[in-house]
Amino acid sequence: MANALNFNRREGYLEKYGFHDKNSYVYRTEKGVSSRIVEEISGLKGEPEWMRNFRLRSYGIFEKKSMPGWGADLSGLRFDDLYYYVKPSDKKGRNWDEVPEKVKLTFERLGIPEAERKYLAGVEAQYDSESVYSSLKGIWEKLGVIFCSTDEALKKYPDIVRQYFGTVIPPGDNKFAALNSAVWSGGSFIYVPAGVKVEIPLQAYFRINAESAGQFERTLIIAEPGSFVHYVEGCTAPVYSTNSLHSAVVEIVVKEGARVRYTSIQNWSDNVYNLVTKRAFAYKDATMEWLDGNLGSKVTMKYPSIYLMEKGARGEVLSIAYAGNGQHQDAGGKAVHIAPYTSSRIVSKSISKGTGRSSYRGLVHVRKGAHHVKSKVRCDALLLDDRARSDTYPVMEINEDEVDIGHEATVSKVGDEQLFYLTSRGLTEEEATAVIVSGFIEPIVKQLPMEYAIELNRLIELEMEGSVG
């Protein structure tokens, strides 16, 4: 048992657990991407003309845009080697008995419910939550809340989708946003009417009939004035993917007095390039909160942004990153203050272990006229090994004088005194390190819904095992 618990999903992961099966999809496009493939995707989905044109225009931009000249090493990425659209089958993909014992044990340790485990292991095509979902669905519908896949929304609510789609993140924003705009599939669409407060977090896997955890997800959230919604994407448990590129776009519009919280814990397998563009527009007195966790993937580049468009808007980014052997987490946050009397706060905590590298990359931009802006950025990094690496790349561009802008960062290792204190109280060095690490990330973890916080803590503990000696 003890040995089995020393599950390290970073080592030889694909060979051991990458049990991908050949026939679990009903249709997929051929390898590579071209305008023909983009048209094919749009055609298969039976999309309206404007979306087809949007995709084609985006593809043109993707072709023209160069790769980012900064950030993580993306030289291993081969655009021609990928499938850009795979329609999953509804049938179960594989047998629960085929799932390796170690993976099952990880689920056990994380305390993941039975039904969810099957979904995560690829046994079920969707998380079987029909019973929970239908009762919740009734409540949401009564309030006028729309929660469905973006594909479905395009069919059912074309006017709302058309009004907002691509307005927060235009295809020309960056190469990967352009790619997503050309080949997007799946993702969530949420519309919350004015004054409606959705008390229970909306979770991606309460959504049925959708290609969740897609490769090129496209999420759009509209919060009308005075509303509130908390959306939770992904989960803390490892997600197995045979796709080597995940490139999502998430657009959020937070109108006057509304509040949106977006929580995502990314835990892709270690073959994945995770290159995501997330941005929210926050209007008068609105609040936008990103809680962004990055644990998995080979390379992640993700900087959730908030554009503070009108007076009184407030934004917060809480970012947590864990980089194990061979991983590079290039994460952070951006706050763009366009209007006066706006405030933002970015808190980042990162842990690098083995040969892992975690980078904080952030921007605080105060435009001309945006006076009385307050912004605080705080980054802390913990290095657990002498081969680990931590970088901090904050950028502050301040064009206005009546502002209060601050940035602070520290990089350190686990303190000898802290270790000594805990080991003198009978903890092993390993346990003590794990305790210190969970204390380090506590300020962010406590913001998570409880079940997530518990999962995340267990996961970090799991990661820490075997980290000493």
Partner 1 sequence: MEERTLELLTRQGITRGAVEELSRLNDEPEWLRKMRLLAWSIYESSPVPPWKRIDLSSIHLDELTAFAPGEKPVADVAVANSIFSGDEARGGRIVQTNSVVDETLGSPLDPSLSMKGVVFTSLEKAAATHPEMVRKHLFVDAVKLTENRFVAMNGALWGGGMFLYVPPFTEITSPLQYTLIAAQSGAALFPHLLIIVGEGSSLTFVDQSATIGADGPALASQVVEIFANPGAQVNYVSVQEFSRTAKNFALKRAILSRDSRMIWTEIGVGSKVSRVSAEAILRDPGSEVQLLGLYFGQGEQRLEYDTLQLHAAPHTKSDLLYKGALREKAHSVFNGLIRVERGAQRTDAYQANRNLLLSNTSRADSLPTLEIEANDVRCTHGATVGPIDPDQLFYLLARGIERETAEKLLVLGFYEAVLQKIPLEELREAIRNYIERELE
The residue (of 138 and 469) whose beta carbon lies closer to partner 1 is: 469
The residue (of 236 and 390) whose beta carbon lies closer to partner 1 is: 390
395 binds partner 1 (CB under 8 A): yes
87 binds partner 1 (CB under 8 A): no
- d(C-alpha 176, C-alpha 45), whole Å: 21
Annotate 318-327 with b (16+ C-beta within 10 A) or e (fewer): bbbbbbbeeb
Considering only CA atoms, which of 339, 321, 340, 343 is closest in space to residue 330? 321
105 binds partner 1 (CB under 8 A): no
Tokens of 144: 């006028």
11 binds partner 1 (CB under 8 A): no
Evaluate whether 318 touches 345 at the Cβ level (below 8 Å).
no
139 binds partner 1 (CB under 8 A): no
Name the one range near partner 1 by CB under 8 A: 136-144, 216-224, 397-405, 417-425.
Answer: 397-405
- d(C-alpha 76, C-alpha 78), whole Å: 6
The residue (of 104 and 378) whose beta carbon lies closer to partner 1 is: 378
Q: Measured from the CB of residue 296, what is the shortest distance to partner 1 in angstroms?
A: 22
- d(C-alpha 400, C-alpha 403), whole Å: 7
Name the one range near partner 1 by CB under 8 A: 59-67, 80-88, 141-149, 393-401.
Answer: 393-401
Q: Measured from the CB of residue 359, what is the shortest distance to partner 1 in angstroms?
A: 9
Name the one range near partner 1 by CB under 8 A: 25-33, 93-101, 192-200, 409-417.
Answer: 409-417
411 binds partner 1 (CB under 8 A): yes
468 binds partner 1 (CB under 8 A): no
Task: Read off the DSSP letter of residue 427.
Answer: -
391 binds partner 1 (CB under 8 A): yes
Evaluate whether 179 touches 216 at the Cβ level (below 8 Å).
yes
The residue (of 66 and 95) whose beta carbon lies closer to partner 1 is: 66
- d(C-alpha 127, C-alpha 309), whole Å: 37
Annotate 169-181 with b (16+ C-beta within 10 A) or e (fewer): bebbbbbbbbbbb
Tokens of 89: 């089958």
- d(C-alpha 379, C-alpha 364), whole Å: 14
Backbone phi, then psi, for 20, in 5-degree steps? -80, 140
Among 160, 409, 454, 468, binds partner 1 (CB under 8 A): 409
406 binds partner 1 (CB under 8 A): yes
Q: Measured from the CB of residue 392, what is the shortest distance to partner 1 in angstroms?
A: 4
420 binds partner 1 (CB under 8 A): no
Paired residues of 323 in beta bridges: 352
Binding site for partner 1 (CB under 8 A): 368, 371, 381, 383-413
